[in-house]
């Protein structure tokens, strides 16, 4: 080498020294501001944190956030020294910060919260391509394109402040898609879209109601959502929609409340008219002829409650009984058929007569139970009976049982001797 | 492309390619790439390395003539190339923010680049050999004598019209002397070319053909005369320029190193 580099000349070295001294003085006067790539945010929170109202108030105190690269501390550690509510969120995957950290997309606070971008610049900046938006409680799965078929930008919904969301921004696009539907929807369910919608569903035509506890069947299938959920304002409201029939149908209950609120016990969603009432579940199970009896024959005038269960309420005591048997019809008759009846009670005359008769009682009591005749039986020919009794000197034949209480042929025969 | 300035075309091409790459990144990010991400740091690092090469390699080569690694003119061309492309990369690295020390470094860098352009202009006013060795006045006088002889040989036996043409072209404007002869020579050359074009339009086809050869001889003589006249001034200006350019350059690199140290401390190795 002939001579040293020009930069190592006295003027060059003097300039270098001058710069170093100037920077040292500037550092003493302004702190780290000399190295600041831009103003810190002046955005204020709800309350002072770490003794300042905004990042800008830290001034040139860079160490409030920055740590030496040889330190075990991280910048995020410095963040939570002031933002003390964040560590709890980070450990909770149901919270935004916890979900973001768990997704692995966001490692450091500054990934989403860049600084030195100006005093008015928003403190939250997210990459739409990697931000797990579902962690906020609203998935963008159904919002890939705007009404104008262009990709969604954050500002389309959030404006300038990503931490803010105005439900009116939903209406802006959805009015373009279907103004009439939106108008009706807002009227029915209110303007707070996020109260029900989470971005994964539409609760519209594609919503599968069969996956709920109340599958829509029969006449329920074509109903509009508002017919049942008209007052819902939240997902909880939607899920709390009453599932009992009476809440909706009570107003036009044809039974006037006589059958209680459990319409489905008889009716299905297919048709009101196809009622399938199971009378056997009542205190008066139907059998026999009662099964074929029209409802109105017992429940006249549509009155179903308080229907008497005793036979006499419907079945008049036949004249044949002459009021001798009381109202316990069922003791002789059953519902399978009124006749033949059975008689199990005590009978002064042995009932061993009249086999083969369709009405055994009428064999002896042809007109009414108040009178009897012994001549209904083929063995008692009146002429022959009269002839035999006349031979015995008996001429009054009106009260057979007076002499034959058991009906035996030889009964009382020896008494005349 | 002129062979003597192909380093400028190479630098322009590189700048164009870098610009296209930058615009592509801008379109992908839909924002100006920040200084502190991988791309931004890549721009800054590459630009600074080129600037460092600008600052050192040519000076080292000038001071190690015994080694003779390549021709001086080639090193100068590389010096110019890196001196243009490096600062452009650093300019893109700023993400168009000029706060604090980073802004000071950028301002110093722009000053050094502009100073370098001026220096290069003054430098080319001093005649040199292909290896960058300054041609002394005596050698210039010898070359002037040779040029004069060539001119006289061309005029010998020529008709009187050519003699008059030579008189007309020889009286075209030129600088009287002083700093304007060094700094304003491009303007003077441009003014001469305009006058020469006007003269050509007044000539017939035959006269124009002869005039072109005469113009070449006259321009050679004219250039040599100008170099002799401006040699001392150009050398003084070059020395003056060095006293300004080197401190600015040192200030730039000192501030740049501090900036890099701060960036490493505050941003690059952030955890």
- In percent, the amount of chain B with pLDDT more than 70 equals 85
Q: Which residue matches tokens 């080694």?
A: B67
Please tell me the distance from the alpha carbon of residue B81 to that of residue B6, in angstroms, as a whole number: 10
Tell me the mean pLDDT in the region A280-297. 86
pLDDT of residue B134: 66
State whether B35 and A37 contact (CB < 8 Å): yes
Tell me the mean pLDDT in the region A60-78. 84
Per-residue confidence at B242, pLDDT binned at 50, 70, 90?
Answer: confident
A336 touches chain B (CB under 8 A): no
Residue A416 in this model has a pLDDT that exceeds 50:
no
Select the residue from A1, A4, A19 to test the B interface by mutation, using most B Cβ atoms within 10 A.
A19
Long-range contacts of A108-112 (CB under 8 A, 24+ apart): A108/A74, A108/A75, A108/A76, A108/B270, A108/B271, A109/A75, A109/A76, A109/A79, A110/A75, A110/A76, A110/B270
Q: How far is B202 from chain A (nearest CA, A)?
A: 52
A21 touches chain B (CB under 8 A): no
Q: Tell me: the pLDDT tens digits for B27-77?
A: 988 888 988 888 999 999 999 999 999 888 888 887 776 667 777 778 888
Q: In 10 A of CB B269, how many CB atoms?
A: 12
A36: chain B residues, CB-CB within 8 Å: 99-100
Q: Tell me: the pLDDT tens digits for A154-191?
A: 888 888 776 678 878 888 888 888 898 888 888 888 88
Tell me the mean pLDDT in the region B110-137. 79
pLDDT of residue A326: 80
Name residue A151's beta-bridge partners.
A145
CB pairs under 8 A between A and B: 92
Residue A373 in this model has a pLDDT that exceeds 90:
no
Q: In 10 A of CB A179, how many CB atoms?
A: 11
A34 touches chain B (CB under 8 A): yes
Residue A14 in this model has a pLDDT that exceeds 80:
yes
Per-residue confidence at A356, pLDDT binned at 50, 70, 90?
Answer: low
Per-residue confidence at A90, pLDDT binned at 50, 70, 90?
Answer: confident
Q: Tell me: the pLDDT tens digits for A50-61?
A: 889 999 998 878
CA distances (Å), origin A271, targets A225, A264, A275, B76, B88: 20, 11, 8, 98, 81
Least confident of A21-25, A72-76, B67-71, B238-242: B67-71
- In percent, the amount of chain A with pLDDT more than 90 equals 6
In terms of average pLDDT, the best of A15-19, A43-47, A355-359, B175-179 is A15-19
Per-residue confidence at B146, pLDDT binned at 50, 70, 90?
Answer: confident
Q: Which residues of B touch A (CB under 8 A)?
A: 35-36, 55-56, 59-60, 63-65, 97, 99-102, 242-243, 246-251, 253-255, 258-259, 262-267, 269-271
Q: Which of A12, A20, A75 sits opposite B270 (nearest CB)?
A: A75
CA terminus-to-terminus distance, chain B: 50
State whether A19 and B254 contact (CB < 8 Å): yes
Q: Which 3-state string (H, E, C) describes B128-164?
A: ECCCCCECCHHHHHHHHHHHHHHHHHHHCCCCHHHHH
pLDDT of residue A2: 53
Q: How far is B252 from chain A (nearest CA, A)?
A: 8
Q: Tell me: the pLDDT tens digits for B3-41?
A: 467 888 999 999 999 999 999 999 988 888 988 888 999
Q: Which of B265, B264, B189 has the alpha carbon at shortest distance from B222?
A: B189
CA A254 to chain CA centroid, Å, is 24
Please tell me the distance from the alpha carbon of residue A260 to that of residue A266, in angstroms, as a whole number: 11
A20 touches chain B (CB under 8 A): yes
Per the model's pLDDT, the better-predicted residue between A243 and A202 turns out to be A243
What's A195's DSSP letter?
G
B69: chain A residues, CB-CB within 8 Å: none
pLDDT of residue A1: 46
Residue A106 in this model has a pLDDT that exceeds 60:
yes
A69: chain B residues, CB-CB within 8 Å: 264-265, 269-271
pLDDT of residue B67: 65
Name residue A337's beta-bridge partners.
A334
Q: Which of A325, A197, A98, A413 has the alpha carbon at shortest distance from A333?
A: A325
A6 touches chain B (CB under 8 A): yes
Q: Tell me: the pLDDT tens digits for B163-215?
A: 777 776 666 555 555 666 767 777 777 887 887 788 778 777 777 777 777 77
A345 touches chain B (CB under 8 A): no
pLDDT of residue B1: 36
Per-residue confidence at A415, pLDDT binned at 50, 70, 90?
Answer: very low
pLDDT of residue B49: 95
Q: How far is B270 from chain A (nearest CA, A)?
A: 6
Q: Residue A3's closest chain B neighbor by CA?
A: B63
Is the torsion defined by CA of A380, A382, A383, A386 positive or negative? positive
Per-residue confidence at B88, pLDDT binned at 50, 70, 90?
Answer: very high
The chain-wide mean pLDDT, for chain A, equals: 81
Please tell me the distance from the alpha carbon of residue A408 to that of residue B142, in angstroms, as a whole number: 184
pLDDT of residue A304: 82
A93 touches chain B (CB under 8 A): no
Tell me the mean pLDDT in the region A288-307. 84
Q: Residue B267's closest chain A neighbor by CA?
A: A66
Name residue A52's beta-bridge partners.
A49
Per-residue confidence at B132, pLDDT binned at 50, 70, 90?
Answer: low
Per-residue confidence at B270, pLDDT binned at 50, 70, 90?
Answer: low
Per-residue confidence at B248, pLDDT binned at 50, 70, 90?
Answer: very high
Residues A5 and B59: beta-carbon distance below 8 Å: yes
Name residue A145's beta-bridge partners.
A151
A27: chain B residues, CB-CB within 8 Å: none
pLDDT of residue B141: 75
Residue A352 in this model has a pLDDT that exceeds 80:
no
Tell me the mean pLDDT in the region A249-256. 84
Q: Residue B251's closest chain A neighbor by CA?
A: A16
Residues A189 and A233: beta-carbon distance below 8 Å: yes
Q: How far is A87 from chain B (nearest CA, A)?
A: 17
CA distances (Å), origin A43, targets A61, A126, A153: 17, 18, 23
pLDDT of residue A53: 92
Please tell me the distance from the alpha carbon of residue A193 to that of residue A168, in angstroms, as a whole number: 9
Per the model's pLDDT, the better-predicted residue between B148 and A395 turns out to be A395
A154 touches chain B (CB under 8 A): no
State whether A7 and B253 contact (CB < 8 Å): yes
The chain-wide mean pLDDT, for chain B, equals: 81
């Amino acid at each position: 080498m002939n001579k040293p580099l020009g930069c190592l000349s006295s003027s060059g070295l003097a300039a270098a020294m001058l710069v170093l001294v100037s920077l040292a003085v500037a550092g003493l006067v302004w702190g780290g501001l000399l190295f600041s790539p831009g103003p810190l945010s002046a955005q204020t929170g709800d309350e002072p944190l770490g003794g300042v109202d905004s990042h800008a108030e830290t001034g040139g105190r860079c160490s409030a956030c920055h740590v030496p690269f040889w330190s075990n501390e991280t910048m995020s550690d410095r963040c939570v020294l002031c933002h003390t509510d964040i560590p709890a969120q980070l450990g909770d995957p149901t919270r935004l910060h916890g979900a973001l950290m768990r997704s692995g997309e966001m490692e450091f606070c500054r990934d989403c919260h860049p600084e030195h971008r100006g005093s008015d610049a928003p403190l939250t900046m997210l990459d739409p391509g990697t931000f797990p938006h579902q962690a906020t409680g609203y998935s963008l799965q159904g919002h890939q394109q705007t009404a104008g078929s262009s990709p969604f930008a954050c500002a389309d919904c959030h404006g300038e402040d990503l931490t803010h969301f105005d439900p009116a921004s939903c209406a802006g696009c959805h009015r373009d898609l279907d103004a009439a539907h939106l108008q009706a929807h807002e009227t029915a369910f209110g303007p707070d879209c996020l109260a029900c919608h989470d971005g994964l569903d539409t609760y519209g035509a594609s919503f599968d109601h069969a996956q709920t506890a109340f599958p829509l069947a029969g006449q329920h299938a074509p109903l509009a959502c508002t017919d049942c959920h008209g007052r819902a304002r939240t997902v909880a409201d939607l899920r709390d929609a009453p599932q009992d029939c009476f809440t909706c149908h009570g107003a036009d209950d044809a039974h006037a409340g006589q059958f209680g609120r459990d319409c489905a016990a008889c009716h299905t969603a297919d048709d009101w008219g196809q009622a399938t009432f199971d009378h056997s579940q009542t205190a008066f199970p139907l059998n026999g002829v009662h099964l074929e009896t029209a409802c109105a024959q017992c429940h006249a005038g549509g009155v179903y409650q308080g229907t008497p269960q005793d036979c006499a309420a419907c079945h008049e005591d036949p004249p044949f009984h002459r009021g001798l048997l009381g109202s316990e019809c069922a003791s002789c008759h059953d519902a399978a058929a009124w006749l033949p009846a059975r008689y199990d009670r005590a009978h002064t005359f042995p009932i061993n007569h009249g086999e083969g008769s369709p009405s055994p009682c009428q064999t002896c009591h042809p007109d009414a139970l108040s009178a009897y005749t012994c001549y209904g039986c083929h063995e008692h020919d009146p002429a022959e009976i009269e002839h035999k009794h006349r031979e015995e000197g008996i001429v009054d034949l009106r009260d057979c049982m007076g002499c034959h209480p058991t009906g035996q042929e030889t009964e009382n025969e020896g008494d005349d001797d | 492309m002129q062979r003597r300035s192909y380093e400028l075309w190479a630098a322009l091409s590189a700048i164009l390619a870098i610009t296209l790459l930058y615009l592509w990144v801008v379109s992908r990010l839909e924002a100006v790439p920040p200084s502190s991400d991988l791309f931004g740091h890549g721009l800054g690092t590459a630009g600074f390395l080129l600037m460092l090469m600008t600052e050192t390699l040519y000076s080292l080569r000038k001071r190690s003539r015994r080694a003779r690694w390549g021709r001086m003119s080639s090193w100068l061309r590389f010096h110019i190339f890196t001196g243009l492309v490096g600062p452009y990369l650093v300019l893109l690295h700023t993400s168009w923010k000029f706060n604090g020390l980073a802004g000071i470094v950028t301002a110093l860098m722009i000053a050094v680049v502009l100073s370098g352009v001026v220096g290069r202009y003054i430098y080319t006013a001093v005649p040199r050999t292909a290896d960058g060795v300054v041609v002394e006045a005596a050698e210039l006088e010898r070359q002037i004598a040779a040029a004069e002889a060539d001119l006289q040989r061309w005029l010998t036996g020529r008709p009187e019209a050519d003699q008059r043409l030579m008189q007309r072209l020889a009286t075209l404007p030129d600088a009287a002397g002083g700093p304007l002869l060094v700094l304003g020579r491009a303007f003077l050359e441009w003014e001469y070319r305009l006058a020469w074009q006007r003269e050509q339009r007044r000539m017939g086809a035959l006269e124009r053909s002869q005039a072109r050869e005469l113009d070449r001889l006259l321009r050679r003589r004219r250039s040599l005369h100008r170099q002799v006249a401006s040699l001392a001034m150009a050398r003084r200006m070059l020395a003056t320029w060095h006293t300004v350019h080197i401190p600015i350059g040192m200030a730039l690199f000192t501030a740049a190193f501090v900036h890099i140290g701060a960036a490493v401390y505050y941003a690059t190795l952030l955890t």
